[in-house]
Amino acid sequence: MHTVVLGNVLCRNAHLSLVACIDNTVFFSFQSVYTNISRVLEVADKLSEAVHYESDRIEALAQAVSREWKSFDMNINQRSCLLARSVAYHKHSEEVTHMLVSYFICKFP
């Protein structure tokens, strides 16, 4: 059994679970970034509502950040979905391989 430490996360069975563990680490980092971007967008809204002298520029930048964030979020969700499917496929293929090896060992000792 292999053990890998990623940040504050301890991962066991490092070959396949490492992928899922990295995905979890990325997810928690992603949540932190989401919180910070939400705060930035809230401040931009408040400045715009307060008729800041650069409110038009602030609004334009906030919209650009929001667009990029939504695009990034969509890409991360697609990546996570593909990653989950890939891990499931490889786990299943390992199970099948193990069953075939067991079968042939029993059948042809």
Q: What is the pTM of this model?
A: 0.64
* Residue 9 in domain: no
pLDDT tens track for 42-84: 999 999 889 888 989 999 999 999 999 999 989 988 988 888 8
Q: Is residue 2 part of a domain?
A: no
54 lies in some domain: yes
3 in a structural domain: no
- pLDDT tens, 5-27? 444 444 444 555 666 666 677 77
On whether residue 98 sits in a domain, the answer given is: yes
CA distance 41 to 63: 9
Is residue 87 assigned to a domain? yes
Structurally, the chain folds into a number of domains equal to: 1
Per-residue pLDDT tens digits for 73-109:
899 889 888 888 888 888 888 889 989 988 888 888 7
Domain membership of residue 6 (yes or no) is: no
**Domain interval for residue 84:** 16-107
Q: With respect to residue 38, please indicate whether it lies within any of the assigned structural domains.
A: yes
Tokens 């996570």 correspond to 80
Q: How many residues does the chain have?
A: 109
> Cβ contacts of residue 75 below 8 Å, gap of 6+?
none
